[in-house]
A and B are shown apart, each in its own frame.
Chain A
Amino acid sequence: MNELASGIANVFGILIVLVGFAASLTWIERRLLGFFQDRYGPNRVGPFGIFQVVADMIKILFKEDWIPPFADRAVFVLAPVIVMAALLIAFAVIPIAPGIGVVSLNIGLLFFLAMTSLAVYSTVLGGWASNNKYSLMGGARAAAQMVSYEVFMGLSLVGVVLMAGSFDLRDIVRSQHGLWYIVPQFLGFVVFLIAGIAETHRLPFDLPEAENELIAGFHTEYSGMKFGIFFIGEYVGIVLISAMIVTLFLGGWLGPVLPPLVWFLVKLAVFVGLFILLRAALPRPRYDQLMAYGWKVMLPLALLNIVVTGVVLLAA
C-alpha cells in the first residue's frame, strides 16, 4: 500500500513538475534570449515577468482552435498528442534521484530510443495531415533528419552501454561513481549532444519548422492549444534530452555535498541553458549540409567511438 502511494506520488509529481517546467521554459527561454541579445525579454507580468507563462496560457486557451477544412481531421488532431505522449512516456525511465523516478526498466535506454523515435511520427503526420505545401516539406524534412540522426544517436550510446554493461539507466548512473562518462566517452557525448539537438529539432537543426523558409513547417496550420501542445512538446523534448545527457554522461544524481535531486536539477539546468544558448548563437545549416554532416561526419565518429571503446575494454 505504502509502495503504491509513493509510486502514484512519483508519477503525478514528476508529470506535474515536468509539464510545469516545460511551460515555464517558454518564459525562461525568452528571458535568456533577451539577455543574450542585450535586452530584457518579457519582464512585465508579475515579478521578473514570471507570470508571462500564465498570460500566454490564458491567451492560447482562448484562441480559436481551428482545423482547416482541407486537413485530414483525425490525423491532424492526433499528431500533437503523439509528440506529447511519446516524450512524456520516455521520461518515465529517467532516474532523477534514488527513489525518484517512475519506473526502472532493465531496457531503459532502448525504451528511451524507441519513444523518441515514435515522436517523429508526430511531426511527419502533422505535416502530412495539414495538407499544405510548407507543412509537407517540414514533415518530409523532419522524417529525413530524424531517420538519419536517430542512427548515430543510438550508436553514440553504445560506448556508454559497453562501459556500464547494462541498459538500465540506474545501473549506468551507479557505474559512473568514480568517473563520469563524459571523460572516457567524450566523443560519444559530443555525438549524442548534436543528435539530441537534431532530435528535438531545435536550432540550429530546426529545419522541420524553419520559420524563414517554411513559415512554421509542420505546424503551420495549427492554432490554439494544439499548437500549444506542439510547443510544450518541444520543451519537454529539450528537458528529456538534457536529462538523458545528464544521466548517461554526467553521472545523473551523483555529486558531493549537495543532495542527489539538487545535483540532477543543476546539471539539467546547465544543459537546458546550453540548448537556449545554441539557439541564440548559431545559424541554421542548409538542408543538404545537415544530411551530409550527419552521414559523413557524425556516423563515422560514432562508429569509431564504438570500436575504440570496445578495443580498450577488451584489452583492459
Chain B
Amino acid sequence: MFSDLRTLWTVFLHLFRRPVTVQYPEQKPYLPPRFRGRIILSRDPDGEERCVACNLCAVACPVGCIALQKTEDEHGRWYPEFFRINFSRCIFCGWCEEACPTYAIQLTPDFEMSEYERPNLVYEKEDLLISGTGKYPDYSFWRVAGKAISGKDKGEAEREQPPSDPLGLLP
C-alpha cells in the first residue's frame, strides 16, 4: 500500500519533468557522422569514381539489393557500367561499406528519402555518385594499388616496391 502511494507520487512528479521527445520535423536530431543512412558512392581526391566494380558489396549485402556491372575504361581502370541500389529492400546494415576495399560505397547521416512510388526508390549510379570524397578525404585507390593503369606502371604506386624478378638468382 505504501509503495503504491510512493509510486503515485513519483509518477506525479514526472509531470514537471521536461519531455525527452525530439519534435522531429521542426527539431532535427543530431546524427553522428557514422550514422547508417542513405548510401552514396564517393569519388577520390582527383574527382574520379572510387568504385572498381569488384562486386564485394553486392555479395555482402544480406538482402541482395545492390546490382552492378563491371566495365573498363581506356586507361585500364575498372568502373561500374551501372550501379543500382534498391532502397525499398535495403536494410541499412552497412555491410556494403565494410566490404568495400576502396571506400567507395559509404552510408551517410540522411534518412529522409520517402517516396510516393516504390520504383522511385531504385537509385541509379547518377543518383548515388556524389562529387566529394565522403568520410576518407585523402584516400585514392589507384594511387596505392599495385594494378597497372596508363600513366602508372607496376611498382610505381605509393610505397610500392618495384616488382621482383622471379627468374633472377640474386637474393
Residues of A within 8 A of B (CB): 32, 34-40, 277-278, 280-282
Contact = CB atoms under 8 A, between A and B. Distances in A.
B4 interface: yes
A36 B19 CA distance: 9
A40 B19 contact: yes
Contact of A38 (B4, B8, B12, B17): B17
A240 B78 CA distance: 77
A38 B20 contact: yes
Interface residues of B, number: 14
Q: What is the interface of chain A mostly: helix, strand, loop, or mixed?
A: helix
Nearest to B15: A35
B11 interface: yes
A35 B12 CA distance: 9
B21 interface: yes
A35 B20 CA distance: 10
Nearest to B13: A36
A52 to B, nearest CB: 16
Interface of B: 4, 7-8, 10-12, 14-15, 17-21, 23
A277 B7 CA distance: 10
A40 B21 CA distance: 7
Instruction: Specify which of A40, A277, A278, A282 lies most central, judged by the most chain B CB atoms within 10 Å of its CB.
Output: A277
A40 B15 contact: no
B11 A36 contact: yes
A282 B7 CA distance: 7
A281 B19 contact: no
A280 B19 contact: no
Nearest to A37: B14
A20 B102 CA distance: 65
A277 B11 contact: yes
28 contacts: A32-B15, A34-B19, A35-B14, A36-B11, A36-B14, A36-B15, A37-B14, A38-B14, A38-B17, A38-B19, A38-B20, A38-B21, A39-B20, A39-B21, A40-B19, A40-B21, A277-B8, A277-B11, A280-B11, A281-B4, A281-B7, A281-B8, A281-B10, A281-B11, A281-B12, A282-B4, A282-B7, A282-B8
